[in-house]
């Protein structure tokens, strides 16, 4: 899988949605014009979560090959990217009612193996994966969070957060940018 | 004509269909003015601040139908501060005092309070029709008052309003004696709905033809409603999430089949693809279809559905239909008149959903197309020229290229020639919205050719004052002009100040107009309200020492006989 993605990346026309979903994420806000560095491919889940939350102070694993981006730059880069997308007030000209209605499909069911019932959460109310996991921890309070997994202290088994995407595939939580 | 008795003159006036014609005859002589005003049953007020409510009511005591519009159009896109104005209460109060026979009230972009709805409900014994579009300020308590006190209510039509939810009991407020409903649209409500009350209400209203349900209404309830009201013509489906249980699915399909009169479908909130076949049985009869709130349905399933809708005249859809899907529309929907393609990804930069290809295909396959709203990632001059040739009957043409100032991607040229072709070919064009990279040249074309144009929306376009002047000089029938983020300044604004008295309104935001320019306009034209809107900023420099050379962030100019308004908030200066 990752080999295929690397081949895609080296072609001259990067496909936008691959960039969004690739395991080989760069820091949010990093200019993509400079191309990707082969070294900064895989990240651990925890680092990915931290990076996507835009929290500063986390060093990227590996070298400095992301175009000299420091974590602070990355955080402000994220701000810049967010700002540039939202800078134009009222554009595109879509009524708020429509924007809100379509954005409203953010409720998801959460099931934990062994828990007696499911819960529903509104993804909109969380600012990032870390926040979401904390909330899930509170909901399924019999578990604790350790290393970004929910751990059952009794059995010692840990639960990796996963989700089913629109194609019906089970995906690891945290790969796709929070937005 | 002066020898005719007034009853005859009045009878002749009955044949005048438009407001414009009735307004015109009222200016002929005093007698005709009097006959006209006493027999006038319907009044349209395009700008609630253009005239005092009391004056309208005094002039037309026999008023039965009143339509009032409030905020400027760009309020839809959050460009107008929240408490700018546009209050419904003064109108309802005035009507309550002066026109007790009022039967119909239609309001758009106004602030409607529960208090005003309650006053409305109690003041007019014959009240039949309430239509609120893009309004705010009320809750379900206000609706409860309408349901309770309007004994002969025929139509309650709530379109895209922001309504505070105070519980589902409003629907239960329709008394058992209420059997007169013909049209009920509460699709915009967000709260829970009492299914039992809804079913009983539908069952006792045999004339119900339009029913648009909110997201909270389940498919089970929909199924029961369809069984009770198979004579529905226009249906908004509610949530339309059908479980995989076969029983619920077949039941609702079975009930759809019975609805032989159904011509228009909307809603489909949260609909997943496997739900759609339930409506296949009635697709062949549909003239209207709105799937623009169903983002989970992708191209392949949309195509399957649309292939069965050969009689479609109006289609609202999301851009996930893609160019491929639009080609299917072009092949199937030969009667299509109105097409709206909405963006599913609001911030752009996503997957190219629809491009110029889709639009060209539809223009080629659907010769009756006359109304378009099209959000796309790119457009070419060649495509627009082709569209103009294929569809000379456009009355409304609104194109939104998501990336501001984007040129023709093939030639890298501005889109002046493309839009020029549209205005030259479409002689009946009344409404136009521009986008993409545009120079002054496009405005030259618009001024030259768009003779019937009444409303023009400009964003991120033009090079100089000349552009705006071309439009003001050329478009004789222009009523509304709204401009944002374009380099038009005082010279353009002041070029022909008399023009604004022939128009309803002018909006300019993030342009080059200065405070001094606005003051000059206000000084020259006392018949206009020149409003400068200054929202509070962290740096209040502008507030404390406004300088005439400062550019004005937002300006709204409108003709009025009511003088400066007395309900303007602090941040609105009427010069």
Nearest to B289 by CA among B243, B257, B337, B226: B337
Q: Do B459 and A166 touch (CB under 8 A)?
A: no
The reported pLDDT for the residue numbered A53 is 39
Mutate to test the interface with A, among B73, B74, B76, B81 (most CBs of A within 10 A): B76
Cα of A124 to nearest chain B Cα, Å:
16
* pLDDT at residue number B353: 84
Residue B189 CA to residue B169 CA, distance in Å, equals: 13
Using beta carbons and an 8 Å cutoff, which residues of A are at the interface with B?
A: 16-17, 85-86, 88-99, 101-102, 105, 166
Cβ atoms B558, B49 nearer than 8 A: yes
Q: With beta carbons under 8 A apart, name residues in chain A contacting B78.
A: 89-90, 96
The pLDDT value recorded for residue B271 is 84
Q: Mapping DSSP to helix (H, G, I), strand (E, B) and coil, where does residue B506 land?
A: strand
Exposure b/e, B546-567, CB count within 10 A at least 16 = b: beeeeebbbbbbbbbebeebee
Q: B523: buried, middle or exposed (CB in 10 Å: 19+, 13-18, 0-12)?
A: exposed
| pLDDT on residue B240 | 86
**Structure tokens of B539?**
């740096």
- The count of residues in chain A is 179
**Is A92–B342 a contact, with Cβ atoms under 8 angstroms apart?**
no
Mean pLDDT score of chain B: 93
Least confident of A147-161, B7-21, B355-369: A147-161
* Residue B455, C-beta contacts closer than 8 angstroms, at least 6 positions apart: B430, B431, B432, B478, B479, B480, B481, B482
Q: How confident is the model at residue B115 (pLDDT cuts 50, 70, 90)?
A: very high
pLDDT (0 to 100) of residue A178: 60
Bigger pLDDT: B546 vs B310: B310
State the average pLDDT over residues B485-510. Answer: 97
Number of Cβ within 10 Å of residue B318's Cβ equals 26
Rounded Cα gap, residues B71 and B414, in angstroms: 32
Q: Which residues contact B135 (CB under 8 A, 6 or more apart)?
A: B70, B88, B107, B108, B109, B110, B111, B112, B161, B162
Indicate if the pLDDT at residue B69 is higher than 50.
yes
Residue B446 has pLDDT above 70, yes or no: yes
- Reading phi first (left if > 0) and then psi (alpha if -120 to 50, else beta), residue B298 is in beta
For residue A162, the tally of other CB atoms under 10 A from its CB is: 11
Predicted local distance difference test score (pLDDT) of residue B570: 85
What percent of chain B is predicted at pLDDT more than 90?
84
Q: Distance, in angstroms, between B362 CA and closest chain A CA?
A: 22
Cβ <8 Å between A90 and B293: no
Check residues A115 and B222 and name the one with the higher pLDDT. Answer: B222
Q: How confident is the model at residue B470 (pLDDT cuts 50, 70, 90)?
A: very high
Which tokens belong to A88?
A: 């134009």
Residues 94 through 153 of chain B touching chain A, CB cutoff 8 Å: 134
Sign of CA dihedral B298, A178, B240, B341: negative
Query: How many CB atoms sit inside 10 A of residue A131's CB?
Result: 13
Instruction: Tell me what ipTM this predicted complex has.
Output: 0.88
Q: Cα–Cα distance between B270 and B238 in angstroms, integer?
A: 9
β-strand pairing of B554-559 with B288-290: unpaired
Residues in chain B closer than 8 A to A94 (CB atoms): 77, 342-343, 346, 375
pLDDT of residue A176: 63
Residue B28, CB-side half-sphere exposure with 13 Å CA sphere: 16
B459 → chain A, closest CA residue: A91
The answer to whether the peptide bond before residue B399 is cis (omega within 30 degrees of 0) is: no
| Residues in B touching A95 (Cβ below 8 Å) | 76-77, 134, 160
> Could you give the 3-state DSSP secondary structure of residue B10?
helix
Least confident of A48-57, A166-175, B98-107, B206-215: A48-57
C-beta atoms of B77 and A88 within 8 A: no
Distances (CA, A) of B250 to B220, B223, B224, B253, B263: 11, 10, 13, 5, 21
- pLDDT score at A59: 38
Checking DSSP bridges between strand B136-139 and strand B129-133, what pairing results, if any? unpaired
CA distance B291 to B224: 22
Interface mutation target, options B300, B343, B344, B510, chain A, most CBs of A under 10 Å: B343
pLDDT at B320 over 80: yes
CA distance A103 to chain B (A): 10
Question: Hey, how many other C-beta atoms are within 10 angstroms of the C-beta on B260?
Answer: 11
When pLDDT is cut at 50, 70 and 90, the band that residue B298 belongs to is confident
Question: Could you tell me if B349 lies within 8 Å of chain A, comparing CB atoms?
Answer: yes
Q: How confident is the model at residue A63 (pLDDT cuts 50, 70, 90)?
A: very low
**Ramachandran angles phi, psi of B247, nearest 5°:** -60, -50
Task: Provide mean pLDDT across the span B125-142.
Answer: 97
Would the pLDDT of B118 be above 90?
yes
For residue B226, what are its two tokens? 């369809």
B537: confidence class by pLDDT, cuts 50, 70, 90: low
Q: For Cα atoms B475, B400, B294, give the angle at the middle one, nearest 5 degrees.
A: 135
Q: Are B451 and B413 in contact (CB under 8 A)?
A: no
Q: Does B539 touch chain A (CB under 8 A)?
A: no
Q: Residue B194's closest CA among B218, B212, B158?
A: B218
Q: Which long-range contacts (CB under 8 A, 24 or more apart) does B297-303 make?
A: B297/B268, B297/B271, B297/B272, B297/B273, B298/B273, B299/B324, B299/B325, B300/B273, B301/B273, B301/B276, B303/B328
Alpha-carbon dihedral B223, B224, B230, B234, rounded to 10 degrees: -60
Across the interface, of B160, B188, B402, the residue whose CB is closest to A92 is: B402
| Contact call for A89 and B269, based on CB within 8 A | no
Of residues B246 and B465, more confidence is placed in B465
Q: Which of B203-217, B345-359, B360-374, B490-504 has the lowest mean pLDDT?
A: B345-359
Average pLDDT for B251-271 = 92
Closest residue, chain B, to A93 (C-alpha)? B77
CA distances to A24, A49, B312, B517 from A46, in Å: 14, 5, 52, 57
Q: Do A97 and B160 touch (CB under 8 A)?
A: yes
By DSSP bridging, strand B183-185 and strand B210-213 are: parallel
Q: Give the phi and the psi of residue B305 in degrees, each rounded to 5.
A: -70, -50
pLDDT value of position B80: 94
Structure tokens at B357: 């290809």
- How close A150 comes to chain B (CA, Å)? 30
CB nearest to A95's CB, from B160, B344, B433: B160
Closest residue in chain B to residue A94, using alpha carbons only: B77
Going B409 to B413 to B416 to B421, the CA torsion angle's sign is: negative
Distance CA B13, CA B39 (A): 9
pLDDT exceeds cutoff 80 at B70? yes
Return d(Cα B513, Cα B487) in angstroms, integer: 9
pTM of the predicted model as reported, rounded to 2 decimal places: 0.80
What is the Cα–Cα distance from A36 to A16, expressed in whole angstroms? 13
Q: Which residue of B has its CA nearest to A179?
A: B347
Give the pLDDT band (50/70/90) at residue B79: very high
Averaged over B498-511, what is the pLDDT? 97
User: Which residues of chain B from 442 to 481 reach within 8 Å of chain A, CB to CB?
Assistant: 457, 459
B45 has a pLDDT exceeding 90: yes
- Subunit contact A90:B484, Cβ cutoff 8 A: yes
- For the segment B286-309, the average pLDDT, to the nearest whole number, is 93
Answer whether residue B350 shows pLDDT above 70: no
| B344 pLDDT tier (thresholds 50, 70, 90) | confident
Q: Which residues pair with B289 in a beta bridge?
A: B265, B315
Return d(Cα A60, Cα B282) in angstroms, integer: 57
Closest in A17, A89, A99 to B346, CB measured: A99
């Amino acid at each position: 899988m990752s080999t295929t993605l690397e081949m895609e990346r080296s072609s001259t026309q990067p496909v936008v949605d691959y960039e969004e979903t690739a395991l080989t994420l760069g820091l949010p806000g990093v200019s993509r014009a400079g191309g990707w560095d082969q070294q900064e491919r895989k990240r651990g889940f925890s680092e990915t979560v931290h990076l996507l939350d835009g929290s500063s102070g986390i060093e990227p694993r590996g070298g400095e090959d992301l175009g000299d981006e420091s974590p602070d730059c990355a955080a402000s880069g994220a701000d810049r990217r967010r700002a540039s997308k939202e800078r134009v007030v009222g554009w595109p000209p879509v009524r708020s009612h429509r924007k809100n209605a379509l954005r409203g499909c953010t409720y998801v069911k959460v099931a934990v193996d062994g828990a007696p019932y499911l819960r529903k959460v509104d993804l909109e109310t969380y600012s990032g994966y870390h926040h979401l996991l904390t909330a899930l921890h509170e909901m399924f309070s019999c578990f604790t969070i350790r290393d970004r997994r929910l751990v059952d202290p009794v059995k010692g088994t840990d639960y990796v957060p996963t989700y089913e995407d629109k194609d019906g595939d089970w995906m690891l939580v945290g790969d796709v940018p929070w937005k | 004509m002066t020898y005719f008795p007034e009853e005859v003159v009045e009878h002749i006036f009955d044949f005048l269909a438009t407001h414009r014609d009735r307004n015109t005859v009222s200016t002929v002589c005093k007698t005709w003015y009097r006959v006209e005003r006493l027999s006038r049953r319907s009044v349209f007020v395009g700008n609630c601040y253009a005239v005092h409510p009391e004056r309208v009511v005094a002039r037309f005591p026999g008023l039965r139908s009143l339509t009032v519009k409030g905020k400027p159009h760009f309020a839809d896109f959050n460009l107008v501060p929240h408490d700018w104005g546009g209050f419904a209460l003064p109108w309802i109060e005035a009507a309550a005092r002066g026109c007790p026979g009022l039967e119909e009230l239609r309001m758009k972009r106004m602030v409607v309070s529960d208090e005003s709805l309650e006053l409305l409900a109690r003041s007019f014994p014959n009240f039949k029709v309430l239509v609120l579009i893009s309004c705010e300020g009320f809750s379900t308590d206000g609706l409860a008052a309408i349901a309770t006190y309007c004994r002969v209510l025929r139509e309650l039509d709530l379109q895209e309003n922001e309504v505070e939810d105070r519980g589902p009991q409003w629907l239960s407020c329709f008394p058992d004696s209420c059997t007169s409903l013909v049209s009920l649209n509460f699709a915009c409500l967000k709260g829970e709905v009492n299914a039992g009350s809804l079913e009983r209400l539908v069952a006792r209203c045999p004339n119900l033809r339009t029913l648009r349900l909110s997201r909270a209404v389940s498919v089970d309830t929909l199924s029961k409603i369809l069984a009770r009201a198979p004579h529905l013509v226009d249906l908004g489906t509610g949530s339309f999430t059908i479980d995989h249980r076969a029983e619920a699915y077949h039941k609702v399909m079975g009930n759809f089949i019975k609805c032989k009169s159904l011509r228009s479908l909307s809603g489909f909130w949260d609909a997943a693809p496997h739900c759609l076949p339930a409506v296949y049985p009635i697709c062949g009869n549909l003239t209207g279809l709105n799937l623009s709130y169903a983002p989970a349905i992708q191209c392949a399933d949309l195509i399957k559905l649309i292939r069965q809708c050969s009689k479609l005249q109006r289609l609202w859809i999301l851009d996930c239909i893609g160019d491929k899907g639009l080609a299917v529309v072009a092949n199937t929907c030969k009667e299509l008149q109105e097409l709206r393609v909405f963006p599913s990804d609001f911030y752009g930069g996503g997957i190219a959903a629809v491009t110029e290809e889709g639009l060209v295909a539809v223009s080629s396959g659907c010769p009756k197309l006359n109304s378009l709203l099209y959000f796309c990632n790119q457009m070419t001059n060649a495509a627009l020229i082709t569209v103009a040739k294929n569809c000379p009957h456009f009355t409304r043409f609104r194109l939104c290229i998501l990336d501001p100032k984007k040129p023709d991607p093939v030639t890298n040229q501005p889109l002046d020639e493309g839009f020029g072709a549209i205005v030259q070919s479409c002689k009946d064009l009344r409404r136009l919205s521009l986008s993409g990279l545009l120079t002054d040249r496009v405005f030259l074309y618009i001024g030259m050719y768009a003779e019937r144009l009444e409303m023009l929306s400009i964003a991120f376009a033009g090079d100089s004052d000349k552009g705006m002047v071309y439009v003001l000089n050329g478009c004789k029938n222009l009523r509304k002009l709204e401009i944002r983020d374009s380099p038009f300044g005082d010279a353009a604004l002041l070029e022909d100040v008399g023009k604004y008295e022939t128009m309803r309104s002018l909006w300019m935001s993030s342009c080059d107009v200065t405070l001094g320019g606005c003051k000059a306009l206000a000084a020259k034209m006392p018949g206009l309200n020149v409003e400068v809107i200054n929202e509070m900023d962290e740096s209040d420099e502008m507030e404390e020492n406004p300088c005439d050379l400062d550019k004005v962030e937002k300006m709204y100019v409108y003709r009025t006989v009511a003088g400066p308004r007395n309900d303007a908030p602090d941040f609105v200066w009427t010069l």
